[in-house]
Amino acid sequence: MPLRKQINTGKLPSHVAIIMDGNGRWARQRGLDRIFGHQQGVNALREVIETAAELGIRYLTLYAFSTENWGRPDEEVSALMEIMVQSLNNETDTFMKNNIRFKAIGDIDRLADDVKKRLFETINLTSVCTGLNLVVALSYSSRWEITEAARRMSVDVSNRTLKPDLIKEEDFEKYLTTYGIPDPELMIRTSGELRISNFLLWQLAYTELYFTDKLWPDFGKEDFYNAIIDFQKRERRFGKTSEQVLEK
């Protein structure tokens, strides 16, 4: 049976998060500069966004640039920023046509003015869209996000708008950049690395993890289908027993 037919569209993960890894290795294996790998990565990205929108997935979060990525050679950082701006120049109309709402999470203030301008334009233009929510993590790391949340929370405690004894998990979540977005149900990482790498540490608490050896530029529609089929075979217990879950 074709993979698409094996997917139960009534049991889709509402939020899929992806660590797009392996662009550099993909390029090196072909004797090319790493930057070609990132360019090729954008094609994979387009295919996955289209597939997620077509299936009816509500949220897709992509790790595009980590806090740690600022430490890469200047030329690679500039090339990645350039690719991002170019991609948004090319794709914003398509997002609007396909009802895709764009959002960015991370330390956006740290980005150059032209990148911020392009991001805010796409965010504003697509703010009326009601289909797939496309969330791009940029200059993002989970420890940055959690530290920032704790810092802002302390400010509210010190100006007495928040009482420390009454702080619950839901209150803490309000300070995260993902506030209002449901936690991912499925997290995919490409390129064979078996790590979370400072990505959505709070939000991935109960997420199903899916790792594949495919390098990101080689990851396509069928690979995305395979990840969803694998997810749909798993039993999600959230700390309960199998019997309790099956009783529901």
What is the distance of C-alpha 109 from the center of its chain? 19
Q: Do strands 15-19 and 186-189 pair parallel, antiparallel, or not at all (unpaired)? A: parallel
CB-CB contact of 42 with 83 (8 Å): yes
Under rule CB under 6 A, how many of the chain's residues touch ligand FPP? 19
Q: Which of 20, 79, 187, 227 binds ligand FPP (CB under 6 A)?
A: 20
Residue 32 or 83: the one with the smaller Cβ distance to ligand FPP is 83
CB-CB contact of 231 with 208 (8 Å): yes
Clarify whether 133 is annotated catalytic.
no
Q: Which of 16, 55, 60, 84 binds ligand FPP (CB under 6 A)?
A: 84
Q: Do strands 186-189 and 208-211 pair parallel, antiparallel, or not at all (unpaired)? A: parallel
Of 8, 33, 43, 69, the catalytic one is 69
> Burial level of 165, CB count in 10 A (0-12/13-18/19+)?
exposed
CB-CB contact of 132 with 93 (8 Å): no
Q: Which contiguous run of DSSP H or E holds residue 114?
A: helix 113-125
Which part of the chain contacts ligand FPP (CB under 6 A), choosing from 17-25, 116-124, 177-185, 206-214? 17-25
User: Residues 144 to 183: which contact ligand FPP by CB under 6 A?
Assistant: none
Three-class secondary structure of residue 61 per DSSP: strand
Q: Which of 52, 64, 176, 228 binds ligand FPP (CB under 6 A)?
A: 64
Question: In angstroms, rounded to a whole number, what is the distance separating the alpha carbons of residues 144 and 84?
Answer: 22
Q: Which of 14, 69, 197, 226 binds ligand FPP (CB under 6 A)?
A: 69
Does residue number 38 form part of the binding site for ligand FPP (CB under 6 A)?
yes
Q: Look at the chain and count its residues.
A: 248
Clarify whether 21 is annotated catalytic.
yes
Which part of the chain contacts ligand FPP (CB under 6 A), choosing from 78-86, 176-184, 194-202, 222-230? 78-86
**Least CB distance to ligand FPP at residue 60 (A):** 11
Interface residues with ligand FPP (CB under 6 A) are 20-25, 38, 41-42, 45, 62, 64, 69, 80, 83-84, 87, 136, 191
